[in-house]
Amino acid sequence: MPVEEFVAGWISGALGLVLGHPFDTVKLLGFFKGMSFPIASIAVVNSVLFGVYSNTLLALTATSHQERRAQPPSYAHVFLAGCTGGFVQVYCLAPFDLIKVRLQNQTEPRARPGSPPPRYRGPVHCAVSICQEEGPRGLFRGAWALMLRDTPTLGIYFVTYEWLCRQSTPEGQSPSSASVLVAGGFAGIVSWAVATPLDVIKSRMQMAGLKHRVYRGVLDCMASSVRQEGLGVFFRGLTINSARAFPVNAVTFLSYEYLLRWWG
Ligand SMILES: CN(C)C(=N)NCCC[C@H](N)C(=O)O
């Protein structure tokens, strides 16, 4: 199994995240809180995403990343490979994402005189506290919502990227840097626009019992949220998700492509 896509995914994920973290936490007035942790974690998650995506395409089309410019895979295969990568990366992402959301929801990162101490002192303390309070399975709170969010949207993510690259690149040639940046950025926007409703539900499931009531499942969380806040609740954070998604994914795809060209 070629490993270069896993390595390129790891590095490109870290580079993309540095750009996106302030956007990600501004939704919760957090800015740069908990940044060091996601760099390591999302780099690993991105490595799994791009590695599984590329190797699934290899299994479906018998073409390597380099060969795919001359023999482009069908969009059906790209979508299926993207969904597979999206499904598998949830197993890595779920604990990391839960810890990130819990830390970002702490508006008081450090104890201040007269104010209650923050619930979690950092990512490791957060993980240990969740395990002690809920058992290891507690680290996968919200994983179903994450799986429903990421599996289809990552198929859309890679299809959008491939389609936009092909629209701006002569047949059989590699896309230019500008094409990769634009295609990656819009792939991020389109996929996050589709993902936002379940992203809202996912975050509520992850904060259940702390900031939201405990839900009986994804559907209960959706119904309860609509009852209390209307259908608009599903689009909370859409603007910031989209503003963040363009630079993050433009850089992610550009660094991924260049690392594989350099490697290949
Ligand atoms: C809609 N979703 C969940 C995605 N498009 N995920 C893949 C992009 C991940 C990238 N590190 C980011 O944070 O945007």
> Ligand 1: does its nearest atom lie under 6 Å from the Cβ of 196?
no
Pocket test for ligand 1, best of 12, 23, 192, 198 (most atoms within 8 A of CB): 192
Calculate how far, in angstroms, residue 188's C-alpha sits from the geometric centre of ligand 1.
Answer: 6
> Ligand 1: does its nearest atom lie under 6 Å from the Cβ of 16?
yes
Query: Could you read off the pLDDT of 225-261 as tens digits, one per residue?
Result: 999 999 999 999 999 999 999 999 999 999 999 999 8
> Ligand 1: does its nearest atom lie under 6 Å from the Cβ of 192?
yes
Element containing residue 174 per DSSP (H, E): none
Calculate how far, in angstroms, residue 115's C-alpha sits from the geometric centre of ligand 1.
Answer: 36
Query: Could you read off the pLDDT of 47-88 as tens digits, one per residue?
Result: 999 999 999 999 999 998 888 888 999 999 999 999 999 999
Q: Which residue, judged by its Cα, is nearest atom 14 of ligand 1?
A: 245
Cα dihedral angle (28, 34, 37, 42), rounded to 10 degrees? Answer: 20
What is the secondary structure of 201-236 as a DSSP string? HHHHHHTBTTTBPPPSSHHHHHHHHHHHH-GGGGGT
Place of tokens 């992402």: 93
Query: Could you read off the pLDDT of 210-221 as tens digits, one per residue?
Result: 877 888 989 999
> Ligand 1: does its nearest atom lie under 6 Å from the Cβ of 248?
yes
